Amino acid sequence: MLAEPEYLTEINLKLKEMQEAIRNIGSAVQSALLNRQKGTSASICAMSQTIHRIDEEITDKCVEALIRHQPFAGDLRNITVALKISYDLARVGRYLYNVTQIIDDVGGEDCEVGEISSMLEEARDMIDQSMNGYFKKDYALAENMTYRDDKIDERYRQVLSKYKEMKNVKGECIMLNALVARIVERMADHACYISNESLYLITGKRQTIRAPKCNER
């Protein structure tokens, strides 16, 4: 293992900060969904802004590193990867905020949310694990993410077909489930992108070992 230059250590610290922030938003949103709690979007919004702030700081630090240190090879790849991951996490933060907005707008106190709750939990875990994989430069962990993403995609399609067929269900329940499921599916995709970047960082090749299904960018 090569000793990590200081600028990379600082950037990684910020990424850890972001990971922690995502965890916090994630658990807040998770409970908001379970309880179909309205009015949470305001407090969640503040947390989401924090994430965007950290994203800007990371971009700034990366640019400074490029100017000052003109990094090459692994160090250079790490910079481009950090920029991309930072953006992915910011998107995820945004998605989580979107869920609370949907709850606020759509309501759905009486709706069934078991499946989408469970999917949200899985997607949150995928994001967390993808970040762990990046920090540890864990090849297996990163490579495995595509399987989990496949499963989320499957569950998403099932939610859609279930509510397409369902009779005697309130409109707001359909909207709640469909919209949240869609968001969760996008979150899972981002977990996949983060893992993809980790693989590039580790191997230096832009191709992943298994052609991923996460190529919708």
Partner 1 sequence: MIMPYKLEIDGLSAWFDQKQVLKKISMKIPDKSVIALIGPSGCGKSTLIRCLNRMHELIPGARVEGRVLLDNVDIYDQKVDAMEVRRKIGMVFQKPNPFPNMSIVDNVVAGLKLSGKKNKKDLMSIAEYRLKSVGLWDEVKDELKKSGASISGGQQQRLCIARALAMEPDIILMDEPTSALDPASTAKLEELVQKLKSEITVMIITHNVGQAARVSDYTAFIYLGELIEFGETKQIFESPKNPLTERYITGRFG
* Binding of residue 211 to partner 1 (CB under 8 A): no
- In 3-state terms the chain splits into helix, strand, coil percentages (rounded to 5) of 80, 0, 20
58 and 14 Cβ atoms separated by less than 8 Å: yes
Query: Which of 109, 158, 204, 210 contacts partner 1 by CB under 8 A?
Result: 204
183 and 95 Cβ atoms separated by less than 8 Å: yes
* Binding of residue 71 to partner 1 (CB under 8 A): yes
- 78/206 Cα distance (integer angstroms): 13
Task: Between 71 and 108, name the residue whose CB sits nearer to partner 1.
Answer: 71
* Binding of residue 205 to partner 1 (CB under 8 A): yes
* Binding of residue 67 to partner 1 (CB under 8 A): no
Q: How far is the CB of 136 from partner 1 (least distance, A)?
A: 19
- 52/184 Cα distance (integer angstroms): 20
* Binding of residue 138 to partner 1 (CB under 8 A): no
* Binding of residue 10 to partner 1 (CB under 8 A): no
DSSP code at position 39: T
- 70/190 Cα distance (integer angstroms): 29
* Binding of residue 68 to partner 1 (CB under 8 A): no
Query: Which of 67, 70, 140, 211 contacts partner 1 by CB under 8 A?
Result: 70
23: left (phi > 0), else alpha (psi -120 to 50), else beta? alpha
Q: What mask of x and - would describe binding to partner 1 in positions 154 to 193, judged by CB under 8 A? A: ----------------------------------------
* Binding of residue 77 to partner 1 (CB under 8 A): yes
Piece in contact with partner 1 (CB under 8 A), picked from 57-65, 110-118, 119-127, 197-205:
197-205
Q: Which residues contact 26 (CB under 8 A, 6 or more apart)?
A: 96, 120, 124, 127
